[in-house]
Amino acid sequence: MHNLEAALLDSLGLQSTSTQIEFRKCIFVQRSLFHDAVNRNQYQTTAEAFKYTRDVLAKCPTDRYLVASQPGIRASDFRAGDCAMPRLCRAVSRPRIQSEFSVAEVVGNTEYAGFAQYIESECTKKGKSVIVDEVRLPPLSLDDRAGDLLKHDEILFEKLEVLTRSDSYTILFLSRPGEPAYQAEFVDTIHQDLKRDLEPEIVRREENNTEWDRLPLLEKYQFFTPGIFMGIIVAIVLFSILGVGLKALSSLEVSYGAFEKEMGPAAHKKQQ
């Protein structure tokens, strides 16, 4: 008897100022358990969806398990006819799968760690010896996401080849939220120096004010803008001209004798 179970989850993400809600699309494909079961509740919480998964795994239905996780995978990556991981899609669509159970959206934060340990613990309680393999695939890059999915599909295919040789097996494929792989960006040194010299440094003021308060005064505020600087230069020139004029006026002297000669009685007699 073969039992094949796969889970594909897509993180859409919704964030507000007070709460964080994540919407996830979840698809469970299953054989030999709950035959022809139709799930009419397509919107479930994380607790409800994971309870179903744990209930299935708690029965320890198979002898071998593969628990794989891929950060950033989406349900749209597994569309029929356009599957980004063709080997995995072929394994899930084999004729051995007789029934299907699906949940369209799961609401709530999810933590996938512990499924492998949970399987081992439950099977040990039942006195059953099982083999559990766990594969954690790296995050997908932004530049070549499709290429990364194909590479990761090859990694999973090697595990699937070994897994499908056993008489009974279960595959649990999970998507967890993750950031794209970091890619270093190299900027030309000359361009970077020019940018540093020509562009003023802008410091963003954060709400907690911790970084802003630590900055020196001249980095917080710009005191000498180009307009203020030009105004100061013009004022200095004008005050210099005014000072020279006042000094010239103060240096003018008229002797009393010359004034007496021009304005005295003798000058009046001459005019008469």
115-147 confidence digits (pLDDT tens):
899 999 999 999 999 999 999 889 888 889 999
CA distance 87 to 31: 19
Residue 189 forms part of a structural domain:
no
Residues 84-103 pLDDT 10s: 888 888 877 777 665 555 56
Residue 266 forms part of a structural domain:
no
Written as six digits, the tokens of 129 are 């010896």
CA distance 102 to 59: 19
Outline where 176-225 has alpha helix (H).
Answer: 189-198, 210-214, 217-220
Amino acid 33: pLDDT: 37
Is residue 68 within 8 A of residue 174, CB to CB? The reply is yes
CA distance 132 to 269: 136
Q: Is the pLDDT of residue 184 over 60?
A: no
Amino acid 167: pLDDT: 78
Mean predicted confidence (pLDDT) in 53-76:
85
Amino acid 133: pLDDT: 92
Residue 46 forms part of a structural domain:
yes
Percent of the chain with pLDDT over 90: 14
CA distance 164 to 199: 61
Task: Please list the residues that pair with 132 across neighbouring strands.
Answer: 65
Written as six digits, the tokens of 10 are 């897509």
Domain count, the chain: 1
Amino acid 166: pLDDT: 80
Residue 234 forms part of a structural domain:
no
One-letter amino acid for residue 65 of the chain: Y
Residue 73 forms part of a structural domain:
yes
Residue 217 forms part of a structural domain:
no
Residue of 267 and 248 predicted with greater confidence = 248
Residue 40 forms part of a structural domain:
yes
CA distance 16 to 19: 6
Residue 130 forms part of a structural domain:
yes
Enclosing domain of residue 164: 6-176
Strands (E), the chain: 6-11, 14-15, 20-21, 23-30, 43-45, 64-71, 78-79, 82-83, 99-107, 131-136, 169-176
